[in-house]
Chain A
């Protein structure tokens, strides 16, 4: 249980970094790539997949 909470915390942290990247990135295609990366991270934070 504690392991899972730590794991979700790590995923949330990575998710926050990727979202920060999207806003800082000046290249649209790199923004698109980051937006794709966000999808599995959101699903994992919510423990859906």
Chain B
């Protein structure tokens, strides 16, 4: 027999009160992601703002820190743009690793650790992603990093259209891509906040006369462009040299040309609209893949997933997957590739060399873990 409970004004009030309590705790949880994690750049880095390059974003959620270190000897300028997609944690973490360890001897190094800062303040609905992950430093302290969303937070930029028409090319994209920093280049000074942020980054590249610009990413293991370097025509010669060196070191990587008719992406538009040599790099991140099983902090850090092991057995992955894909490996891949690009830059133009020391090597990061090389919190 079906029992029917009667609703009254009193039950309505009680239930509304309960909703308010749930709202309070949910709000506390969501708002905790608005607080940026602490990072500890070396004193040699000077802090600037992205709005220094385009004042249209001053005072908006798109404004963010830019760190610059100059060497004693003159040379070229390299840019590390990290955190374009905040659900690809090895990107942001590589930037932090450079900020906390890099000593520039020749040329200049510019690091933007949270490129889409508006994507770090939330994570994806129905994805089950953790809000962050914790790494242990060499002294056993904990460092927390946020795991954000691929897109800008809708509380800052709303609404997205059904179809996003890329402004400079007229290319049609899915509407949500209007909030994707890596579909908005070269950006617009009067566009959406994400387009303005893209415009500010392009202005940074122009005004700082960046010679070599990296955009660091991660991709699903089942996505063909993974463990890869994507290079514009301008950077292809350098990228080919580096790819061979990485392969000689026993690290599998593929080199992809930037498609000429795929617009809005850094590896295409930075090359077409500025004088820089753009490089985009991808590592394999199971925590963002569609085949993943249980999604939690462990998956972000270790990349261990039975579903991916099965997919690898079936030949469905584009990375060698031996049961895990730890974040240390993913950061080590980025770090090693960046170091080799910087070492080889002077062979393209002798006056544009950039020498950076203090960055741990591939084997060191693998052996000790990336947390070992992060600064102690204070």
- Partner-B contacts on A (CB < 8 A): 3-4, 7, 19, 22-23, 25-32, 34-36, 38-39, 42-43, 46-49
Contacts and interface: CB of A to CB of B under 8 A. Distances in A.
Nearest to A27: B7
What 4 pairs across the A-B complex have the smallest Cβ distances?
A28-B5, A35-B15, A28-B7, A31-B7
B30 A31 contact: no
B270 to A, nearest CB: 30
Contacts, number: 61
Nearest to B9: A23
Interface string B29-52: 011000000000000000000000
A38 B7 contact: no
Contacts of B158: 3-4, 7
A35 B317 CA distance: 44
Contact of A48 (B7, B18, B27): B27
A29 B22 CA distance: 18
B22 A39 contact: yes
**Chain A, interface SS category:** helix
Given A26-B6, A48-B27, A48-B31, A42 B12 contact: no
Interface string B118-155: 00001000000000000000000000000000000001
B207 interface: no
B15 A22 contact: yes
Contact of A38 (B11, B16, B122, B155): B16
Given A19-B16, A30-B7, A38-B19, A49 B159 contact: no
A29 B16 contact: no
B19 A49 contact: no
Contacts of A28: 5-7, 11
A35 B20 CA distance: 9
B26 to A, nearest CB: 6
A24 B12 CA distance: 9
B241 interface: no
Contacts of A48: 26-27, 30-31, 155
Nearest to B20: A42
Given A48-B30, A49-B155, A43 B23 contact: yes
B15 A43 contact: no
B161 to A, nearest CB: 12
Interface residues of B, number: 22
A8 B246 CA distance: 52
Contact of A49 (B11, B20, B122): B122
Among B11, B12, B22: residue with most chain A CB under 10 A: B12
A34 B7 CA distance: 12
Contacts of A22: 12, 15-16
Contact of B19 (A25, A29, A36): A36
Nearest to B153: A49
Contacts of A7: 158-159
Given A22-B12, A32-B15, A43 B26 contact: yes
A46 B16 contact: no
Given A25-B12, A42-B19, A42-B23, 7 more contacts: A23-B12, A28-B6, A28-B7, A35-B18, A42-B20, A47-B155, A48-B27
Contacts of A29: 5
B61 to A, nearest CB: 11
Nearest to B158: A4
Nearest to B24: A42
Contact of A26 (B7, B16, B20, B31): B7
Contacts of A36: 19
A36 B122 CA distance: 21
A8 B372 CA distance: 46
A49 B5 CA distance: 33
A49 to B, nearest CB: 5
Given A32-B15, A36-B19, A49 B7 contact: no
